[in-house]
């Protein structure tokens, strides 16, 4: 630790496929799907154009892209038809071992740095931490007793909990007063490209709404980090900004005595995460699967579901949460079948899943470890 700054290392182990998108969907005419080798390639389009020009194939390529009669349906077949061999311009392969057999839709790509290496943005880690803190702080306040005032909106709740730094010459709602100004989450170190896989979105209905056909595979494919991938990033805590706030011990270790006489040394944030996972399992996840999450499970990235991205576990108790969310989702997704949610007993009534190597996983589950440097 140097002065008022405290450096901490965040380690995340992917317990299931994790997707953080870069806002790009690559169509089947833009990637090379080599089923013989079970690999996927994203070619260098500039170099590919030069190869096509040198072989006088630009006109054929134009016809391929426009879908003219007689043209193949994907880029790999186009290359075979026009006798264009592979080269360095194909780029590095992504293994499709354990991925869906038929990829016929655009693929949503994982975020990558300037060198084409996947990484986890600090903003994604920060967002997951923020959700946990807001949910648990809100739940603690709600458990303190009923209020005579109407429940504030999510934005007001966030302002009340986070905008507390009170820096001189600023307004309370200014971003500089957000307590997360004291927590600087760095981007992860680059992740090896061989950690990437392609996964299909799967919806699992709640137990009381089970479809005879079981889980529902949807035409949405994502580049994901495969289970077992290790991610490392840095967190810098500015302790001087936290001294006058309730969060001064958020990333400090404390020792608790257990009922059996033993002691447990745990980071304050990890205690919040443990409590959050218990509520998430007991009040939502139990409607789909049995068993509990690990105490240090953190949901990251896209496709993890509505509940993991919002404060609903904190703002509402289980009984009042169900009709409120059902009404909200009915308004936003009129064709999503949410009119039945109250009868089913849970809303949303689909758990977000995927498959890899023949095994079904929840999306975006990671094991979190934090250590002080």
Per-residue confidence of the chain (373 residues) as pLDDT tens digits? 456 899 999 999 999 999 999 998 998 889 998 888 888 999 998 999 999 999 999 999 999 999 899 888 889 999 999 999 888 889 888 988 888 777 878 999 999 999 889 999 999 999 999 999 999 999 888 765 555 445 667 778 888 888 888 888 888 888 888 999 999 999 999 999 999 999 999 999 998 877 767 889 999 999 999 999 999 999 999 999 998 888 999 999 887 777 777 776 789 999 999 999 999 999 999 999 767 789 999 999 999 999 999 999 999 998 899 999 999 999 988 888 898 999 999 999 999 999 999 999 999 999 999 999 8
Question: Do 155 and 287 have their domain in common?
Answer: yes
Question: Do 295 and 363 have their domain in common?
Answer: yes
Question: Do 11 and 49 have their domain in common?
Answer: no
Which pLDDT score, from 0 to 100, does residue 148 have? 47
Question: Do 292 and 213 have their domain in common?
Answer: yes
| Residue 187 lies inside a defined structural domain of this protein | yes
Domain count, the chain: 2
In angstroms, how far is CA 169 from the centroid of its own chain? 37
Distance of CA 152 to CAs 132, 157, 175, 329, 333, Å?
19, 6, 20, 19, 24
Question: Do 270 and 132 have their domain in common?
Answer: yes
Which pLDDT score, from 0 to 100, does residue 154 have? 72
126 touches 181 (CB < 8 A): no
Question: Do 73 and 212 have their domain in common?
Answer: no
Which among 349, 70, 356 has a CA at the least distance from the CA of 201? 356
| Residue 113 lies inside a defined structural domain of this protein | no
Question: Do 176 and 275 have their domain in common?
Answer: yes
| Residue 148 lies inside a defined structural domain of this protein | yes
Question: Do 141 and 192 have their domain in common?
Answer: yes
Please report which residue ranges of 102-193 form alpha helices under DSSP H: 122-143, 154-162
* 36: CB partners within 8 A, 6+ apart: none
Which pLDDT score, from 0 to 100, does residue 145 have? 56
Strands 107-110 and 216-225, how do they pair?
parallel
Which pLDDT score, from 0 to 100, does residue 120 have? 98
| Residue 295 lies inside a defined structural domain of this protein | yes
| Residue 75 lies inside a defined structural domain of this protein | yes
CA distance 242 to 284: 33
- Structural domain for 51, as ranges: 43-91
Which pLDDT score, from 0 to 100, does residue 262 have? 73
| Residue 29 lies inside a defined structural domain of this protein | no
Question: Do 242 and 327 have their domain in common?
Answer: yes
Which pLDDT score, from 0 to 100, does residue 108 have? 95
CA distance 170 to 181: 14
12 touches 367 (CB < 8 A): yes
Q: Length of the chain in residues, anyone?
A: 373
Q: Which DSSP state fits 188?
A: P
H-helix or E-strand spanning residue 193: none
Which pLDDT score, from 0 to 100, does residue 150 have? 55
Using the structure block, give the residue that is written with the tokens 């016809």.
63
- Where does a domain end: 56, 91, 126? 91
| Residue 217 lies inside a defined structural domain of this protein | yes
347 touches 326 (CB < 8 A): yes
Question: Do 190 and 56 have their domain in common?
Answer: no
- Helix-, strand-, coil-residue percentages of the chain, each rounded to 5: 35, 25, 40
Question: Do 173 and 84 have their domain in common?
Answer: no
CA distance 139 to 8: 27
| Residue 34 lies inside a defined structural domain of this protein | no
Using the structure block, give the residue that is written with the tokens 């810098």.
236
Question: Do 244 and 348 have their domain in common?
Answer: yes
């Amino acid at each position: 630790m140097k002065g008022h700054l405290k450096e901490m290392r965040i380690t995340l182990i992917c317990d299931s496929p994790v997707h953080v998108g870069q806002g790009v969907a690559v169509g089947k005419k833009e990637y090379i799907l080599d089923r013989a080798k079970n690999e996927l390639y994203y070619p260098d389009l500039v170099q590919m154009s030069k190869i096509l020009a040198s072989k006088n194939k630009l006109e054929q390529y134009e016809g391929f892209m426009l879908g003219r009669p007689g043209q193949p349906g994907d880029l790999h077949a186009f290359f075979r038809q026009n006798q264009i061999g592979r080269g360095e311009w194909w780029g590095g392969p992504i293994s499709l071992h354990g991925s869906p057999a038929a990829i016929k839709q655009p693929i949503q790509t994982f975020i990558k740095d300037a060198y084409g290496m996947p990484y986890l943005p600090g903003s994604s880690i920060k967002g997951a931490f923020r959700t946990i803190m807001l949910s648990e702080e809100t739940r603690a306040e709600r458990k303190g007793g009923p209020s005579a005032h109407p429940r504030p909106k999510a934005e007001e709740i966030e302002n009340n909990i986070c905008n507390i730094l009170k820096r001189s010459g600023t307004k309370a709602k200014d971003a500089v007063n957000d307590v997360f100004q004291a927590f600087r989450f760095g981007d992860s170190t680059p992740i090896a490209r061989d950690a990437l896989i392609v996964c299909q979105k799967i919806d699992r209905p709640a137990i009381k709404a089970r479809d005879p056909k079981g889980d529902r595979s949807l035409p949405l494919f994502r580049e994901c980090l495969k289970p077992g991938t290790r991610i490392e990033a840095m967190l810098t805590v500015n302790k001087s900004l936290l001294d006058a706030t309730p969060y001064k011990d958020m990333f400090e270790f404390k020792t608790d005595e257990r009922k059996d006489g033993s002691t447990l040394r745990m980071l304050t944030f990890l205690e919040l995460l443990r409590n959050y996972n218990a509520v998430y399992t007991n009040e939502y996840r139990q409607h789909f699967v049995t068993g509990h999450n690990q105490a240090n499970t953190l949901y990251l990235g896209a496709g993890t579901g509505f509940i993991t991205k919002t404060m609903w576990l904190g703002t509402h108790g289980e009984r009042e949460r169900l009709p409120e969310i059902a009404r909200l989702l009915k308004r936003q997704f009129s064709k999503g079948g949410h009119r039945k949610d109250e009868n089913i007993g849970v809303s949303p009534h689909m758990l977000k899943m995927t498959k890899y190597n023949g095994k079904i996983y929840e999306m975006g589950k990671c094991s979190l470890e934090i250590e002080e440097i």
